[in-house]
Structure 1
Amino acid sequence: MRGTEMEAKEDAVEITAESAEQVLKGKKLSWAKLGHVDSLRLEAGRVSTTHQHGSQAGWKITLHLAFQSIGVVYGDIGTSPLYVYASTFTKGIKETDDLLGVLSLIMYTMLLIPVLKYVFIVLWANDNGDGGTFALYSLISRYARVSMIPNQQAEDAMLSNYKLETPSKQLKRAQWMKQKLENSALSKQFLFFLTILGTSMVIGDGVLTPCISVLSAVSGIKQKATTLSTGAIDGISVAILIALFAAQRFGTDKVGYSFAPIISLWFGFIGIIGAYNLIKYDIGVLRAFNPKYIIDYFRRNGKQGWISLGGVVLCITGTEAMFADLGHFNIRAIQIGFSTILLPSVSLAYMGQAAYLTKYPGEVADTFYKSIPGPLFWPTFLVAVAASIIASQAMITGAFSIISQSQSLGCFPRVKILHTSAKYEGQVYIPEINYLLMIACVIVTLVFRTTEKIGNAYGIAVVSVMIITTIMVSLIMVIIWKTNILWITLFFIVFGGIELIYLTSVLYKFKEGGYLPLLFAAILMVIMGVWHYVHVERYNYELKNKVSSSYIKDLAKSQHIKRLPGVGLLYSELVQSIPPIFPHFIEKMPSIHSVLVIVSIKYLPISKVEIQERFLFRQLEPKHYRVFRCVVRYGYRDKLEEPKDFERSLGENLKVFIHQESFFTETASHANTSSDHTVEVKPRKSNSSTVHIEEALPQTPENQSRGSSDRIVTEQVQSAEDEMQFVQKEMEKGVVYLLGETEVVAHHGSSFTKKVVVNHLYNFMRRNFRQGEKVMSIPHSRLLRVGMTYEI
């Protein structure tokens, strides 16, 4: 509300988004109907253009991104032919029909999961272009209030990237599901649990993918260098892994360009070799397109056939990367790369190996390298090693993207996020995570030493993420897409059923390395769960202990409070009211800056907030004291500005707000004296960049004091210009950042578990991860901190 605090907005009649747009366009409105106009809401509705990922990119850019995606996204699934048959037939091939059954399983698994499910369905469940588990969670959060942090504001729904079609009232199913999610704390917790579980599994893939890919490729050298020991192969693999992670700092853009030609060459090699083997050895393996061979395979092998699915599922490893890395590219680029390059070449590779194994079934342990024609061995080996390195890129890149998203939504401790491309949004690099992944990869490689055990672990991580994606996309179909219930049921049963069968198979080998991804996931979930829990509790503490609206008024009357030159930016997580840290600042330092802005950095469950919609302001009473509330909204893909850029943007938007406030103050005063007339507002910019307001009042006996009204308007505009000049001068004198050093401890009556979580786990993470001022790059020379303890 004009001149009031945020929590008072419920007590007045609020302007709607449509009415606000009409005001901006100069349409006539009845101020009697509008009542008190919320200028914050007016700001929120300025931009009305929606942005859909992929629609902005022309074919030239799309093909350019499709080429990049070959080097970033498809390396993992593209190198699966190195180890799938070896992982499936761990006890050898009994008969040729078993080989046809496994080939049929591989082909139909690829067609159903990567192609049908991901390329044609899941990719469209993106959040303004972002993919991955957190993107699905944020998309659901916009339609149903499932977030556990009570910082939702009505103004958020007016953002251009936030605007979504509201489920139709006629579709009771969508409304029923939405209400169930919103009203059930258990549903919210379960959805959050699924989200962090899926996120943890994808990050775990970032450890397992490099290990299995590099080891599989390097071990092929034994075909020619028979004297090379296992220890030497492990050493070579570790050296390659270290080099791979060291290259990440150059960014996805440069890495993608460097890797794409190599992966394209790899796909060319495996496609040609596969076609050669298919023609030379047994083109009859194409009979595997008949799904009857799958049925016969399970009839013959029973339990052993079910166990072998743990190896078959490795043919789709890296599929989730297509979705998780979507923010680095776009839908069309992913679809083009997969359909034209990956699918044909990888399919030929599996068929060619199957044809070779019909003649040499005893060589299944080294199928890939044994089936390479002699002259092509060394070129293929070198490209295979390079491709295995690149295969790791997809999941490493996906891990960076997901951690960036989770940190923005308050689910991960603060880490340094570097945006590596000015041209393409969403391409990030996180140094701390990169080196932690590298250390974990080296340890796993040296401890397990064989692809078989790593493969057992890998399958669990892959299938778990796929099942979570199926559940969340099904929810999106119900709540957002409002798909026919028959299609939703079909999607959930078909894909969920296939993935569940695969999951039961990979879990069978839990003791043989399968525990590894669950261990990774458990550690990551503890980190994310503890951080998010305390984050929510901290917010609730500040909300319960917010300062009364009369505090500023009393402060303004006090003779002991000095006014310091410049602008003070007091940071708080609250999006309304005055935070409890503010009186603590005044108590320790009885002074206040000439202009004080209480700033709340708020991350929304959307990928991007347009710069025109970023700042929301309100002025606290009394106005002459110049204390403002400001909510600065970001999407989880948005980059925090440098301090100079942030200060400039905040100052400019604050001056625009002051102009708007002067307009609403005057028009509201007219509404109080005459509720029958309408006001036509025509904002226009003069050469002095000052907004002038022209008012057209009906010529009635009640409106004979036009000259007096004009004088009031002129005085109001002049007052606004004076305020703007004052703010500008204070900005030039300097900006000081005021941060609270809050120590969070469990209340003395808390349970033992809560004390361990808050006092030990959370505080350990807070001390060992980055502090807020480092993430925001605040200059130490302009930073003022005051300590305070929160008992939650």
Structure 2
Amino acid sequence: MSSHHKDLQKLTAAGFLISLGIIYGDIGTSPLYVFKAIIGQEKISELLVLGGVSCIFWTLTLQTTIKYVIITLQADNKGEGGIFSLFSLVRRRAKWLIVPAILGGCALLADGIITPPITISSAIEGLHTKYPELPTMSVVIAIIAGLFFIQQFGTSLVGKAFGPIMFLWFTMMGVLGINYIIDMPWILKALSPHYAFQLLTTDPAAFTILGAVFLCTTGAEALYSDLGHCGRSNIRVSWIYVKACLILNYLGQGVWLLQHNGQKLDLNLLNPFYQIMPPQFLIFGIGIATVAAIIASQALISGSYTLIAEAVRLNLWPKVKINYPSEQKGQLYVPSINWILCLGCIGVVLLFERSEKMEAAYGLSITVAMLMTTILVSKFLKRRKVPSYLITLFLVIYFLVEGTFLFGNLGKFVDGGWFTLGIGLVLFIVMWSWHTARRIRNRYVKFIEIEDYYDILKELSEDDTVPKYASQLVYLTSANFNSEVESKIIYSILQKQPKRADVYWLVHVDVMDEPYTRDYEVDFLVPNKLIRIDFKLGFRVEQQINLLFRKVVEDLVKKGEVDITSQYRSLNARKIVGDFRFVVIEKVMSRSHTLSFYERAIMTIYGQLKKMSISEERGFGLDLSFVTVEKVPLTLTDPESVVINRII
């Protein structure tokens, strides 16, 4: 583990504040709308309030504290967390684990489209208490548009303020809650699981209530996803403070609701969260809530960028442009995803208009993500040799808990759940098609023994009758073994246009299960004529092959292992370095009826995605002025199977 990640494991005041600023935006803004959703249009009753608080407390305990803070944070991939990091830890145990990984990733991305609108809307709608006619929808859209616009410039500067602001936010929530709890201290009995059990077994709308309760834990995935930014110790300690403040605030809201026992209130105008604020504090409170909602949205947006960058490097998403707007480690910006999320968020606001309508669309997709994490964590526990009976107990408990929440959220499908599930389905089709198409294409890539071509490559390199193509000729290869090479590479060198070079290089990139591995191996297949470099890069390492290759060559030159001086007499006399040229072979699928209907459909989708993605050479960070792209067909039909008769 690097010193950077070792430092993160230490509990520090700075780490505590960073955790508050990065991780808890989503779960920390849930008091804005959870009780609103639980009560809905129902008449306020003691059981509904006490049972609601009890359900919230035990959901945060079982789901967030035990599953994520205690168990899932153990799945530490060299200091990193998140569903794709977890998948990288366990993917070699079973091929089918790609399915829960993709489903979970898509659900988290879909959640990124609904979280900013609901949190920002819930905060801004507090102004209706003083200004009932205020067009809050326009304000929300303006904030969302501004938030996405500034992403391209980097957020490291404002990010430093997130921790203190969120500390103020949580402290404010805790103090507001205590102010009401002291008026009715017996509200603390709501922490007993008895009231949750009684409410869920007697209320006819139990599943609807469960769907609303689940909103209190929707940010739990972020605790694991941001493990690399904050460290396990800082997350665990900061969660104690966050959970205490959240529960105090929910209890305070419960007291206010019990003060209106038997009444049927319009909670859209009388949000319990804002009602427990002193009137003179309201505007300030709404301001802090709005900033907290923006911070929550920022965390989701940044998380979406990281998720997509990992998916690209794991070959689960088309290659897209990824920018690094600041020097801050791990900060990146994905333009295509940024504007897709922006349009999606604005679309959500226009479609649902108010936060209470958005609540129907919220929660369903994240339940799916949590179920997928449960599956992957169980495989991780098996890898850690945890006793089978404990793994079975873990699966039974969390399939039961999350399955119940899933059924509770399914009731939201018609009212809005269809939206996030639809978004998730589209994302799944993209990821699954890209992953499956690559496997289909690889079936038709022919590998040959490179040793059979050592002599001809050496002879070609020294054949003065063939015009020199480049001093140093570099091919990107997908062959996993040093003894093999794609037949198309040999065809490109020897037949398509004989390419004479002083030295031939084969470069292979292997994406490792560890996040930040940056290693390489060199194999001198034919000394000074044919050299293979294998890069072993972590799934979070930017694949700047042009720079990495240059660095490796410089190291080899310093050690005297290679000579890249131009062999042209005039240039060699002055010790001038020879030219380098990369050749990227783009494999094109030829039409064939040998593919099944399903595979043809996958390849059709892949073809359209390929048009929208950036090229292979851009994806590998190559200097386009030194790159040649050759398109070669992948023949799907064996010529020997084609029958044709000659007429004599």
Counterpart in the other structure of 1:553 = 455
Counterpart Cα distance in 1 of 2:440 and 2:458:
32
- The answer to whether the aligner puts 1:262 opposite 2:165 as a matched pair is yes
Counterpart in the other structure of 2:584 = 739
Deviation sequence 1:431-456 (CA, Å, 0-9, x none): 21111111111011101113233222
CA separation of 1:638/1:782 partners in 2, compared to 1, >3 Å: closer, same or farther?
same
Counterpart in the other structure of 1:116 = 66
Which AA in structure 1 matches 2:178?
A
- The answer to whether the aligner puts 1:589 opposite 2:497 as a matched pair is yes
Q: Secondary structure of the equivalent of 1:457?
A: coil
Counterpart Cα distance in 2 of 1:117 and 1:497:
13
CA shift for structure 1 position 778: 2.2
Q: Secondary structure of the equivalent of 1:566?
A: strand
Counterpart Cα distance in 2 of 1:240 and 1:555:
61
CA separation of 1:727/1:464 partners in 2, compared to 1, >3 Å: closer, same or farther?
farther
Deviation sequence 1:114-159 (CA, Å, 0-9, x none): 11211111011121122121111110135x3xxxxxxxxxxxxxxx
- The answer to whether the aligner puts 1:633 opposite 2:583 as a matched pair is no
Counterpart in the other structure of 1:371 = 276
Counterpart Cα distance in 1 of 2:126 and 2:376:
40
Show the 5 A alignment for 1:643-682.
643=546, 645-654=547-556
Name which of 203, 207, 211 aligns with 2:109.
203
- The answer to whether the aligner puts 1:605 opposite 2:507 as a matched pair is no
Show the 5 A alignment for 1:148-227.
181=94, 188-189=95-96, 191-227=97-133
Counterpart Cα distance in 1 of 2:152 and 2:561:
48
Name which of 297, 300, 315 aligns with 2:202.
300
With normalisation by structure 1, the TM-score equals 0.74
Counterpart Cα distance in 1 of 2:598 and 2:500:
41
Confirm or deny: 8 A CA contact 2:565 2:578 kept in the other structure: no
Counterpart in the other structure of 2:437 = 534
Confirm or deny: 8 A CA contact 1:539 1:574 kept in the other structure: no
CA separation of 1:329/1:252 partners in 2, compared to 1, >3 Å: closer, same or farther?
farther
Name which of 348, 357, 373 aligns with 1:453.
357
Counterpart in the other structure of 2:345 = 441
Show the 5 A alignment for 1:47-126.
54-57=5-8, 59=10, 62-126=12-76
CA separation of 1:652/1:319 partners in 2, compared to 1, >3 Å: closer, same or farther?
same
Counterpart in the other structure of 1:37 = none
Counterpart Cα distance in 1 of 2:368 and 2:3:
29
Counterpart Cα distance in 1 of 2:597 and 2:389:
48
Counterpart in the other structure of 2:611 = 767
Confirm or deny: 8 A CA contact 2:8 2:229 kept in the other structure: no
Counterpart Cα distance in 2 of 1:74 and 1:783:
45
CA separation of 1:87/1:588 partners in 2, compared to 1, >3 Å: closer, same or farther?
same
CA shift for structure 1 position 89: 1.5
Which AA in structure 1 matches 2:620?
M
CA separation of 1:136/1:753 partners in 2, compared to 1, >3 Å: closer, same or farther?
same
Counterpart Cα distance in 2 of 1:408 and 1:196:
14
Confirm or deny: 8 A CA contact 1:620 1:627 kept in the other structure: yes
Counterpart Cα distance in 1 of 2:280 and 2:576:
71
Counterpart Cα distance in 2 of 1:389 and 1:101:
31
Larger Rg: 1
Confirm or deny: 8 A CA contact 1:356 1:371 kept in the other structure: yes
Confirm or deny: 8 A CA contact 1:567 1:731 kept in the other structure: no
Structure 2 unpaired stretches of 5+:
637-648
Counterpart Cα distance in 2 of 1:374 and 1:630:
68
- The answer to whether the aligner puts 1:332 opposite 2:233 as a matched pair is yes
Counterpart in the other structure of 2:640 = none
Q: CA RMSD in A?
A: 2.4
Confirm or deny: 8 A CA contact 2:21 2:166 kept in the other structure: yes
Counterpart Cα distance in 2 of 1:401 and 1:318:
16
CA separation of 1:722/1:103 partners in 2, compared to 1, >3 Å: closer, same or farther?
closer
Show the 5 A alignment for 1:330-369.
330-340=231-241, 342-361=242-261, 362-363=264-265, 364-365=267-268, 366-369=271-274
Show the 5 A alignment for 1:123-138.
123-138=73-88
Which AA in structure 2 matches 1:582?
I
Name which of 777, 780, 784 aligns with 2:624.
780
Counterpart Cα distance in 1 of 2:85 and 2:3:
14
CA separation of 1:593/1:333 partners in 2, compared to 1, >3 Å: closer, same or farther?
farther
Confirm or deny: 8 A CA contact 1:77 1:315 kept in the other structure: yes
Q: Secondary structure of the equivalent of 1:619?
A: strand
Deviation sequence 1:318-352 (CA, Å, 0-9, x none): 11011112233321222232223x11211111000
CA shift for structure 1 position 293: 1.2
Q: Secondary structure of the equivalent of 2:431?
A: helix
Q: Secondary structure of the equivalent of 1:453?
A: helix
CA shift for structure 1 position 222: 0.8
Count how many residue pairs are aligned between Structure 1 and Structure 2: 619
Confirm or deny: 8 A CA contact 2:564 2:578 kept in the other structure: no
Confirm or deny: 8 A CA contact 2:178 2:252 kept in the other structure: yes
Which AA in structure 2 matches 1:762?
Y
Deviation sequence 1:217-244 (CA, Å, 0-9, x none): 111111111222xxx2211111111111
Counterpart in the other structure of 2:644 = none
Report the identity percentage: 28
CA shift for structure 1 position 357: 0.5
CA shift for structure 1 position 563: 4.1
Show the 5 A alignment for 1:480-499.
480-499=383-402
CA shift for structure 1 position 776: 3.0
CA separation of 1:464/1:52 partners in 2, compared to 1, >3 Å: closer, same or farther?
farther
Show the 5 A alignment for 1:716-727.
721=560, 723-724=562-563
Counterpart in the other structure of 1:46 = none
Confirm or deny: 8 A CA contact 2:44 2:257 kept in the other structure: no
Confirm or deny: 8 A CA contact 2:436 2:602 kept in the other structure: no
Confirm or deny: 8 A CA contact 1:410 1:532 kept in the other structure: yes
CA shift for structure 1 position 723: 4.8
Show the 5 A alignment for 1:392-403.
392-403=297-308
Confirm or deny: 8 A CA contact 2:618 2:624 kept in the other structure: no
CA separation of 1:777/1:95 partners in 2, compared to 1, >3 Å: closer, same or farther?
same
Confirm or deny: 8 A CA contact 2:44 2:258 kept in the other structure: no
CA shift for structure 1 position 529: 0.8
Counterpart Cα distance in 1 of 2:411 and 2:9:
47
CA shift for structure 1 position 509: 2.0
- The answer to whether the aligner puts 1:412 opposite 2:317 as a matched pair is yes
Confirm or deny: 8 A CA contact 1:419 1:639 kept in the other structure: no
CA shift for structure 1 position 513: 0.8
Counterpart Cα distance in 2 of 1:71 and 1:192:
31
Counterpart in the other structure of 1:317 = 218
Confirm or deny: 8 A CA contact 1:567 1:594 kept in the other structure: yes
Name which of 741, 748, 751 aligns with 2:596.
751
Confirm or deny: 8 A CA contact 1:324 1:402 kept in the other structure: no
Counterpart Cα distance in 2 of 1:304 and 1:564:
75
CA shift for structure 1 position 490: 2.5
Counterpart in the other structure of 1:45 = none
Counterpart Cα distance in 1 of 2:611 and 2:259:
62
Deviation sequence 1:561-611 (CA, Å, 0-9, x none): 44455312111222231223323423333222211101112212221214x
Counterpart in the other structure of 1:465 = 369
Counterpart Cα distance in 1 of 2:511 and 2:295:
33
Which AA in structure 1 matches 2:209?
S
Q: Secondary structure of the equivalent of 1:456?
A: coil
With normalisation by structure 2, the TM-score equals 0.90
Counterpart Cα distance in 2 of 1:532 and 1:539:
11
